[in-house]
Chain A
Amino acid sequence: GNSVTQMEGPVTLSEEAFLTINCTYTATGYPSLFWYVQYPGEGLQLLLKATKADDKGSNKGFEATYRKETTSFHLEKGSVQVSDSAVYFCALSDLNSGGSNYKLTFGKGTLLTVNP
């Protein structure tokens, strides 16, 4: 079955530091890959996505590249801000699953804290 493995947190960085959160996956078929962000007290929001190999998703300074050869989708940001403090979830969707089998598989989440 499908699975997503994220690096365990928490991750604590100083403002303007470089961020990498690792994500690897196991999937049948040809999944789409997602990063979601959850700010304190809120629901999850889609941060970025990539739907095929070598695609790069980007949003708000965050980037992730769909690497089929290494089954990875690592999240990166060149210079983090205090406002980036949140929990980040990697997820995959097998678009070839049909009918009632469609659902996302989530990693366990990584808590990021950015200090001023």
Chain B
Amino acid sequence: DAGITQSPRYKITETGRQVTLMCHQTWSHSYMFWYRQDLGHGLRLIYYSAAADITDKGEVPDGYVVSRSKTENFPLTLESATRSQTSVYFCASSEWSDREAGYTFGSGTRLTVV
């Protein structure tokens, strides 16, 4: 299916565990983004990527790692999960040549760290 897919939709993990959230897009968009959404904070940018093998930190990168070996995938890894990382995570993509179109978002991953 065309679009942007996040997996899993829901995840419960224990403090200290490593967990990876997946994001896959089918448009070959150059830009991809990871946000977390928390009550009172709105959307906060964690990491973004302008192209394969190019990534950069956003507003709240601590405790997260990203990679982008292929254009269509942009996984987000929590190296050692903490309760403060309980959140809803959204992946988004965009194309620089069509940046007036804004972003396209995935459906989100709700992560609970216990």
Contact = CB atoms under 8 A, between A and B. Distances in A.
A46 interface: yes
Contacts of B48: 100, 103
A108 B42 CA distance: 4
Interface residues of B, number: 26
B105 interface: yes
A103 B105 contact: no
A43 interface: yes
Query: 6 closest Cβ contacts across the A-B interface?
Result: A108-B42, A43-B105, A100-B50, A44-B105, A106-B43, A43-B107
B31 interface: yes
Interface stretch (B64-72, B75-83, B96-104): B96-104
Contacts of A91: 102
12 contacts: A36-B105, A44-B92, A44-B105, A49-B102, A93-B100, A95-B99, A99-B50, A102-B31, A102-B50, A103-B33, A103-B48, A104-B103
A99 B51 CA distance: 10
A50 B56 CA distance: 28
B42 to A, nearest CB: 3
A104 B107 contact: no
Given A43-B107, A99-B50, A51 B42 contact: no
B102 A46 contact: yes
A103 B108 CA distance: 19
Interface centre among B56, B94, B103, B106 (most CB of A within 10 A): B103
A109 B42 contact: yes
B105 A108 contact: no
Contacts of B33: 103
A108 B38 CA distance: 10
Interface in A32-71: 32, 34, 36, 42-46, 49, 51
Contacts of A104: 102-103
Interface centre among A32, A34, A44, A107 (most CB of B within 10 A): A44
